[in-house]
Structure 1
Amino acid sequence: MKKSIIAFVALGTLAGAAHAQSSVTLYGIIDEGLDMITNNKGGHVYQLASSVMQGNRFGLTGAEDLGGGMKAVFLLENGFNLNSGALSQNGLMFGRQAWVGLASQYGTVTFGRQYDSIFDYAAPLAAGQLGGGVYGAHPGDLDDSNIDYHSNSSIKYASPTFSGFKFGGTYSLGGTPGNFTNNQIWSLGAAYNQGPVALGAAYLNARNPGTGMFSTAASSLPETLMTPIYSGFMSANTFQLIDFGGSYTFGPATLGATYTNAKFMDLGSNPMPTGAKGPAGGYTTGSTATFNDVQVNFLYRITPALRLLLASDYVHRNALTDQDGKSIESAKYLQYDASLDYSLSKRTDVYVMALYQRALGDDSTGGPAVAAITDTTAISSNGKQFLARIGIRHKF
């Protein structure tokens, strides 16, 4: 009898130990606020909008210790609109992320719907991720600094961190019968964060972007995907993106800068997706639309609970010619951001933000460029737009 009791206790202890080596965590973010946006159809727009400072989400993440320093890991993450209750990411159940993989001392390999190397290594140094939110992303989120696009059916490797340095890459399987590379996306990146210095760099290459990368938009709103800043370039054969960033912290202040170079290459190689608008005759076959973006940002912790962000962004796109020989003037976008964020607790904060955007030249549709702040449906009626917001964010 005593031996049976001892055996039972031993089994219970082992079961408890096995349970302790595995974990599953439920987490989430809820963000909501009131916006005022100027110059939309001749008037101002007042609206409740969610997923601005950070995207609304709830998710499950977990790990199981397999022994020998290896773990099985997974993550399932949903996005949603707080005001309607609708799913984001085109109505997908786990549209933000859904992956499973293995982690060890040599790094982590995961499989599924994931973020690319731009987000993992370079985007954390841009204003949108530092407190500017989705509105503070570079115009149109052209360089995916605010996670508007995802990589489906992807394989990702992330290295361990070596004295502040880490690296990794992703490969998203495209492929259709007879064309293995159709819709594929691949990216590489590296970052260094040690002491006051932070650096990041990444490269991304997406084949047939109109039906691949840009069709995975984080929002289910077609106006978000088809921003006039670049909707007219969805006939490209290849989208290429290079992203660099760096920052230096001194006391309570951090000064940073980013540079991105984005190219829509071999225009006219593919049919335009439904909803995308370009010049009536399309662009000269084989031409390339190139965007250069430079941003400077400044983050200052006024108190441990109060944080100020200021940012200035400049985008330039080259001039082009349509199939009829008409010249499409180059475009310029200037954007100025400011936000003030106050933490009520470790999990809840309130914030205010203001943003002004100015557009000059011709946009991708071939018409006069209009201001188009990222992820708002209230596209400006002209080349100027101002946005102000007050919001609250809660994490659990």
Structure 2
Amino acid sequence: MKKALLLLLGASTLAGSAIAQTNVSIYGLVDAGIVHERGGATDSVTLLGSGIAAGSRLGFRGVEDLGGGLAATFVLEMGFNIDTGVSGQGALFGRQAWVGLQQNGVGNVMLGRQYTPLFNTVNAIDPFGGASMAGSGNNMLAEGGIRMNNTVKVAAVGTGPLVAEVAYGFGETPGDSSANRNMGAMLGYKSGPVDVRFGYHRNNNADGTDDGRSAMIGGTYDFKVAKAHLGMQANKGLVIINGRPIADTDTRDLIIGATVPFGANSLLVSYTHKDDRSAADGDARQLALGISHRLSKRTDLYASVARIKNDAPVGSVRFYTVGNGSSQGTGDRAFNVGVRHLF
């Protein structure tokens, strides 16, 4: 009995030591609001939505100091729908799940499910942050599916103005290394009021016979009274837009917008134009307006409205819909208002 007690105390001491050496934090975001959509293949709908300005989530982040500026890091982040309580993305940690090593002043190497470099590029350029509210650039811009599975990513985290990352997602198909494969890269310069980015993504379909390529360049300039946003994107082949794979794509896209802060508020406005050069000729134009009001550092109220004018017929694959942070949307017009809280 005495030996067992000593062993138990020793195990407890070791566990406590491990916990003390690893800094693990719990974080999250809860977001809900009212959404009204119309102009699609079905009747208009008004609903209580989750993750409109940003997807609701619960995450765990850990860092262990290994000495010499080297650290082990991990992120496990699950999405959920606050309106129903069900999990999102169809997986336990569907938002992010990776582990890696970080060298201070040099960079990170991360392995697991991660954001695509192209999504990070769009997120930096779009006034609505890539996938936020009715004005989401994701309604019409490709983002490489937002996340990549089975991915090795190398990202620079130096203190200088250059930012960069390269990612490779294994297709893991026996006998065909190109099937289901994803590759991406981002290069940027961020200094003072200037933030310029270039992002690229390439993906292969399940049989490895078709691929899609998307490239985007653009940036922002902060004039203090307002921030200007400008981006241009080119897409070719099988690309994913708003969660939908679209084959035989050949487009040139433009997004222009502004963020105007005043007091505890921020006004967001953007215009996105899609020039479809394929035989389908499915041009589209989106105009979006949004506003957020900070109640505190962690809580804000928001509202947004957007309209897409599609040349493609309702219900076709090139009929783009107005979604938000967690939904593809059902029509070409939408309004949403809600509350977001971070913890």
TM band (smaller chain): 0.7 to 0.9
Contact 1:353–1:388 (CA<8 Å) still a contact in 2? yes
Partner of 1:93: 92
Matches within 5 A, 1:314-333: 314-320=273-279, 328=280, 330-333=281-284
| Post-superposition offset of 1:86 | 1.1
* Count of equivalent residues: 323
Partner of 1:32: 32
Question: Which secondary structure does the structure 2 equivalent of 1:66 belong to?
Answer: strand
Match for 2:342: what amino acid?
A: K
C-alpha distance in 1, partners of 2:103/2:163?
A: 15
| Post-superposition offset of 1:191 | 1.5
C-alpha distance in 2, partners of 1:157/1:352?
A: 36
Matches within 5 A, 1:259-278: 259-264=232-237
The counterpart of 1:175, out of the listed 168, 172, 177, is 172
CA deviations 1:128-171 (Å, max 9, x no partner) are 317x7153223645412xx8532111000011234221111100
For structure 1, the residue ranges without an aligned partner over 5 or more in a row are: 1-13, 213-234, 268-275, 321-327
Contact 1:141–1:374 (CA<8 Å) still a contact in 2? no
Contact 2:251–2:278 (CA<8 Å) still a contact in 1? no
Partner of 1:290: 250
Match for 1:338: what amino acid?
A: L
C-alpha distance in 2, partners of 1:22/1:372?
A: 44
C-alpha distance in 2, partners of 1:76/1:355?
A: 33
Partner of 1:223: none
CA deviations 1:71-125 (Å, max 9, x no partner) are 0000000001111111111x20000000001001331101011111112344311
The counterpart of 2:270, out of the listed 300, 305, 311, is 311
**Pair 1:206-2:203 in alignment:** yes
Q: Given the two structures, how large is their TM-score scaled by the length of structure 2?
A: 0.85
Change in 2 beyond 3 A, CA 1:46/1:363: closer
Contact 1:260–1:292 (CA<8 Å) still a contact in 2? yes
Question: Which secondary structure does the structure 1 equivalent of 2:123 belong to?
Answer: helix
Structure with the higher strand share, 1 or 2: 2
**Pair 1:257-2:230 in alignment:** yes
C-alpha distance in 2, partners of 1:191/1:48?
A: 38
Matches within 5 A, 1:137-216: 137-138=136-137, 140-144=139-143, 148-208=145-205, 211=206
C-alpha distance in 2, partners of 1:277/1:242?
A: 16
RMSD of Structure 2 on Structure 1 (CA): 2.8
Partner of 1:104: 103
CA deviations 1:362-381 (Å, max 9, x no partner) are 58948xx645123656533x
Q: Given the two structures, how large is their TM-score scaled by the length of structure 1?
A: 0.75
C-alpha distance in 2, partners of 1:306/1:264?
A: 40
For structure 2, the residue ranges without an aligned partner over 5 or more in a row are: 1-13
Contact 1:331–1:363 (CA<8 Å) still a contact in 2? no
State which structure, 1 or 2, has the greater radius of gyration over its C-alpha atoms.
1
C-alpha distance in 2, partners of 1:277/1:150?
A: 14
Partner of 2:323: 374
C-alpha distance in 2, partners of 1:104/1:313?
A: 39
More relative contact order, 1 or 2 (CA 8 Å, 6+ apart): 2
